[in-house]
Structure 1
Amino acid sequence: MKPLFVLTFLLNIAFCMAQTYHFPEESSPHEGTWLQWPHHHQHGTEYRKRIEQTWIEMTRELQTGEKVHIIAYDNAEKKRIEDLLEKNKIPLKNVDFKVYPTDDVWIRDNGPVFVKDDQGHVLIEDWGFNGWGGKYDSKNCDEIPQRIGEDLGMKVIDLNEEMVNEGGSVETDGKGVLMACKSSVISQKRGSVRTKGITQQEAEEMFEQYYGVSKVIWLDGVTGLDVTDMHIDGFMKFINHTTMITMDEDGLFEMGLTDKDINTLYTASDAEGKEYRKVYLPATKNKVKTAYGKQLEDKGSYINFYVANKVVLVPNYGDPNDKMANKMIQEQYPDRKVIGIDVRNLYENGGMIHCVTQQQPVGSFLK
């Protein structure tokens, strides 16, 4: 090899090794929001009917300030959804459709993770998805990031062989810190294994490179408590790089957290060691009852909200604490309008608003 060629080759390798990516804060400007629309092909028509009003209301509110990218199972479903939105007098100017088969609705966990490279270009990270440790079918949903990347002409970093990672299992402050539960990321307990044999150090190295963080705060979490093995976005969220919102102590105990994890959460500090300002929300006053009358066993969390360009969509339960939670969240986002979205029927299936949304940041594509 000629010396100049060797030098160029080595510099290219060094650049690739040094390249890290940044996961923008959810509150930073969006190009749009991605939704996987409920269908009947996996869980039946009654399932679809019970939860899709939540999608109608999300679309109504989101389209006022950004694009809404709806994933429909097939062309028949696409036509049905279009008719449904028109019937509900929702403008379609900011709504578009992609047709891909999906297993379910939880795009936060299986969908694309949109990040930016060192030059500010937007690209997709395609982490592995295995149905929360093999609990549910996942083949269709696992392919969604690649399908979106192909359709958009956007570069996709394929991490499927490196690590399984669900979007709801991590929260970042936008300035170097990521928080997660070991139970839903690195646990090796049967029925919850995401990545066989992965160590804490290996997971941290992946997060450092692909989320652009320098500090990972781990909670133990509880394996097997729910389908997700305790996703962090059920009970804490970063408002910005100085403030986190979580639940009061009674609410955290209701969610199943231990004293140790509550202490870790309440004393959490940023990358420079400065303790975050904390905002504490209650859980619902009562255990959640679905809109069709089924009494559930758990109270609801308001933390699983979604921050869009103009609105903040907050899970509501027809509960006396809805109004208080909405007001407290509104105080954190004075430039956006808080909208309560009824999630009672969705909550029966283990998730809320953040679980079924995925943001695409503003920026030019890396192809």
Structure 2
Amino acid sequence: MKRIPLSVWLTLEVFAVTWSTNSLAQESALNMTQGVTQISSEVYHLHMLIFYICCAIALVVFGAMFYSIYKHRKSKGAVAAHFHESTKVEIIWTVIPIIILIAMAIPATKTLVAMEDTSQSDLTVKITGSQWKWHYSYFEQDVEFFSLLATTQNQIDGIEAKGAHYLLEVDNPLVLPINRKIRFLLTSDDVIHSWWVPDFAVKKDTIPGFINEAWTKIDQPGVYRGQCAELCGRAHGFMPIVVHAMTEADYDTWLADKKAQLALAKQQAAAALSNELSLEELMQIGEKIYTERCSVCHQANGEGIPGAFPAIKGSAIATGAIDQHIDIIVNGQAGTAMQAFANQLTEQEIAAVITYQRNAFENNTGDVVQASDINAFTMQAQGNKEEL
């Protein structure tokens, strides 16, 4: 029985791989997602076009190579030919790659140009990355909020079973309407982060002191998840992105409710200035805030990470002057990973976490800080700035 040449087997294998990739593209975890936007679909089809071109090139090149190895092998008495420069061959192998590159460049350029066109947007959202959370601000809507990891520390530590969306769930998702062009302005408060949602084909770096632009127009309602895609420090893996895409009517309802919710929160924060909580109440609130916001750097036991993040336990800040402690929580510390929490926490929450730090981890100062103390400090600081 005559043996089938290796080149034929190779040809059949390449065709089989190409066909199976095309039919199973969406199901395969190894392939790109088609996403839920026109741009993500264009990126996907561009990717597949380039892949098929590469398969065709591989088929021709390796087919010719293996055919030559089989057909002109020494055991069949083949004798190597001796020839030198051929102008015709050199022209052919120069022109063909140029044609291939042009065939690849034209659709790629069209897609890249479309990806960068942020004009005529219906909604603008500013996205600010920081260690390790996202801040979303809706232009002309007076709506802004932080989005933090919602996975519990017990799940991370393996004490509880991991949830269905382990490390991909947040307390405040970004909510967007479908069928509207949304422009993103992306920047950072500290180091370089990267806002990446595969279903939108959006992946942009957020760079301190610089603003990048991107856009999307979502076709289908749903929940879409992403992550920070730039190594940004110890808790880089704890910066998930969750986007809730709603119908336009549902989005408008959510926006009205969110505005009412934020207005109520401001009223409650103002009312809290006249409330004095007990040490036990402040410790309870402060422990929750500390676990959510502080423990990632300073550790749950308050001992920090030597050489990277200072300890709270026995520290000069947590056991020293209260004003200095308030200042570092409210204003942060330049040149370090210590952020300013004035715009992230209410005055009552700041008071609670300071009280907790001064009385937990065997610090036991007995100090009680109230929301009115934080307000008085910030008012005095503002007055000093105005005088200068």
For the aligned pair, the TM-score class normalised by the smaller chain equals under 0.3
More helix per residue: 1 or 2?
Answer: 2
Q: What is the TM-score normalised by the length of structure 1?
A: 0.21
Q: What is the TM-score normalised by the length of structure 2?
A: 0.21
More strand per residue: 1 or 2?
Answer: 1
- Which has the bigger relative contact order, CA under 8 A and spacing at least 6? 1
